[in-house]
């Protein structure tokens, strides 16, 4: 038996309660053994509706599962996406309340800010850059609301672990003056570099993360809108967080920014 609309809504509410109570729930797929990827995205839609009803606004999307290692581990062959909310978008020198999350971790990324709508299948890197206002250094906050290990449907239902982002550094124009595939960055915690990477680790070019997002959105009759923020995918491993930790993300010539968890 397939999942009903009520089942999708029930899972979304359970995930939201887990977020608010900062404690994991059992895997939804253990209860709904027939839950597939299409069901998981319907759960996401119900979860987003709950956020909007509570006053949050959708700020954009995060692209997840861009690394080959994660795809192999979860038995998928393409990236998936989650939603970003305005209340969890932070800037330079932000003071972030750790209690807003359960077990958050950080990933090093690039964010694309869209200057015009774009939708449909089969776009190229050039198509994405033509629709982009600027690219900016970004650190994604990921968080999980279920126990592990997580099958792909549970991962998607849980917003692909998307929980927020801190943006800073210098805005990069999509005019070809900067090779977006070779932007390097380090992430330091309390003065010690924990992770480093280069943006080519995202599918060979970070704009291909946006291409993958457009393909997934097109499957659901959607697309990107003017002003959307897109986190294109991580190019480092996750970094743990403890209360009081101060982080600095350094993107070399593209700037640095810092934030602290309270």
Q: What is the pLDDT of residue 75?
A: 63
Q: What is the pLDDT of residue 66?
A: 80
The residues near 161 (Cβ < 8 Å, ≥ 6 apart) are: 64, 82, 142, 143, 144, 155
Q: What is the pLDDT of residue 72?
A: 61
Q: pLDDT by residue for the chain (262 residues), tens digit each?
A: 579 989 999 999 999 999 888 888 999 999 999 999 999 999 999 999 999 999 999 999 999 978 665 566 556 668 899 999 999 999 999 999 999 898 899 999 999 999 999 999 999 999 999 999 999 999 999 999 998 888 889 999 999 999 999 999 999 999 999 999 999 999 999 999 999 999 999 999 999 999 999 999 999 999 999 999 999 999 999 999 999 999 999 999 999 999 999 9
Q: What is the pLDDT of residue 84?
A: 98
What are the chain's domains?
A: 58-261 (3.90.850.10)
What's the rounded Cα separation, in Å, for the pair 107 and 71? 17
DSSP secondary structure letters along 137-206: EEEEEE---B-SS--HHHHHHTGGGEEEEEE-S--B-SSSSS-GGG-EEEEEETTEEEEEEEGGGTTTST
Q: What is the pLDDT of residue 151?
A: 87
> Model's pTM, two decimal places?
0.95
Q: What is the pLDDT of residue 180?
A: 97
Closest C-alpha to 241, from 222, 220, 259: 259
């Amino acid at each position: 038996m397939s999942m009903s609309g009520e089942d999708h809504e029930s899972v979304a509410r359970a995930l939201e309660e887990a977020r608010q109570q900062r404690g994991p729930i059992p895997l939804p797929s253990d209860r709904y053994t027939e839950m597939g990827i299409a069901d998981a995205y319907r759960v996401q839609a119900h979860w987003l509706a709950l956020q909007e009803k509570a006053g949050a606004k959708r700020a954009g999307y995060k692209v997840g599962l861009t690394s080959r290692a994660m795809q192999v581990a979860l038995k998928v062959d393409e990236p998936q996406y989650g939603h970003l909310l305005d209340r969890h978008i932070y800037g330079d020198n932000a003071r972030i309340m750790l209690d807003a999350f359960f077990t958050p971790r950080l990933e090093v990324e690039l964010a694309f800010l869209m200057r015009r709508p774009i939708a449909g299948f089969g776009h190229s890197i050039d198509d994405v850059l033509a629709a982009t206002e600027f690219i900016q250094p970004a650190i994604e906050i990921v968080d999980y609301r279920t126990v592990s290990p997580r099958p792909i449907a549970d991962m998607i239902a849980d917003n692909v672990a998307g929980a927020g982002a801190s943006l800073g550094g210098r805005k990069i124009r999509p005019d070809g003056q900067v090779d977006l595939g070779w932007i390097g960055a380090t992430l330091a915690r309390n003065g010690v570099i924990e992770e480093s990477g280069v943006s080519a680790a995202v599918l060979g070019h970070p704009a291909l993360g946006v291409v993958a997002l457009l393909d997934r959105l097109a499957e659901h009759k959607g697309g990107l809108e003017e002003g959307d923020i897109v986190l294109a995918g991580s190019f480092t491993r996750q970094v743990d967080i403890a209360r009081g930790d101060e982080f600095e993300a350094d993107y070399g010539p593209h700037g640095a920014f810092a934030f602290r968890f309270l």
